[in-house]
Amino acid sequence: MVSTAKEETDTTLRSGAPDSAHTDHHTHRDVSGGWLRPAVFGAMDGLVSNLALMTGVAGGAVDRNVIVITGLAGLAAGAFSMAAGEYTSVASQRDLVVAELEVERRELSRNPEEEQRELADLYRARGLPDELAEEVAGHLSKDPERALEIHAREELGVAPGELPSPMLAAVASFASFAAGAMLPVLPYLLGATVLWPAVVVALLGLFLCGAAVARITARSWWYSGLRQLLLGGSAAAVTYGLGTLFGVAVG
């Protein structure tokens, strides 16, 4: 019985049968890439922050050119800030993971028997018989890179070859923030002289962004769209009121 189980396990390890069978039945979205979170966060942040900034300035009854300059400055400052922050955040996290991987690599080199026992204990905890757990751990530990990958997945929750790219995250943040922040500025650049076209375009963009995210995450598109619209609209209304109040006070 144990021999048969071992043969099946070895076949699985060589051929990747569970992954293949799993893929034949259905597919999954990419949830490990480094682009989705910064892109979504950047677009939403660009829309909401620049809309709020522009409505706050407009509430002070300033000239149209001031609103346009404010919107463009907010776009540039926010996009560079988002990119720098995202790059630093992802790079720092990546450096931490790489350092921990080096610790694990050294342990595999210095104490291979102990690391193999850890792996066997892990498979025992998951229900494999003692003998089979030992054999599987020994089989996997023959290849140092495979052993490192397995220990990294089990102990750190990461895959050594699938670490997020700081540059990809930074570029995604910059581009998405700039695209979102441009929407409330666009009507003014096309000749608008009042605030409401910018508000309408920005709120429509928020709804569409929310709906698009829902398509990716398989959530309700209308709920996600309305949620983003209400959040962005509330921020714009509050800052417009504050801008009006401050404009009256300063005036």
What single DSSP character describes residue 194? S
pLDDT reported for residue 204:
95
- Quickly count: other Cβ atoms within 10 Å of residue 177's Cβ: 30
pLDDT band for position 38 (cuts 50, 70, 90): low
**Higher-scoring residue by pLDDT: 186, 219:** 186
Residue 49, pLDDT above cutoff 80: yes
| 166-182 average pLDDT score | 92
CA nearest to 181, candidates 71, 66, 84: 71
Domain that holds residue 71: 38-244
Give the pLDDT confidence of 196-236 residue by residue, as tens digits.
Answer: 999 999 999 999 888 887 776 667 889 988 998 999 999 99
Where are the strands (E) in the chain, listed by range? none
pLDDT reported for residue 36:
63
Domain membership of residue 150 (yes or no) is yes
pLDDT band for position 9 (cuts 50, 70, 90): very low
In order of 58, 95, 105, 156, 164, the CA distances from 160 in angstroms are 50, 12, 11, 10, 10
Residue 25, pLDDT above cutoff 80: no
Domain membership of residue 21 (yes or no) is no
21-30, 83-92, 95-104: segment of lowest average pLDDT: 21-30
Buried b (16+ CB within 10 A) or exposed e, 221-242: beebbebbbeebbebbeebbee
Domain membership of residue 6 (yes or no) is no
Mean pLDDT of the chain: 83
Residue 195, pLDDT above cutoff 60: yes
Domain membership of residue 19 (yes or no) is no
Domain membership of residue 4 (yes or no) is no
pLDDT band for position 22 (cuts 50, 70, 90): very low
pLDDT reported for residue 4:
46
The count of domains in the chain is 1
Residue 151, pLDDT above cutoff 90: no
Is the CB of residue 42 less than 8 Å from the CB of residue 82?
Answer: yes
- Give me the amino acid identity at 164: P
- The model's pTM: 0.74
In the numeric block, which tokens belong to residue 39? Answer: 């892109």
In the numeric block, which tokens belong to residue 185? Answer: 């500025």
Domain membership of residue 227 (yes or no) is yes
List alpha helices for 111-189, DSSP H.
112-125, 130-141, 144-151, 166-189
Domain membership of residue 102 (yes or no) is yes
Residue 6, pLDDT above cutoff 50: no
pLDDT band for position 3 (cuts 50, 70, 90): very low
Domain membership of residue 249 (yes or no) is no
pLDDT band for position 1 (cuts 50, 70, 90): very low
pLDDT reported for residue 27:
58
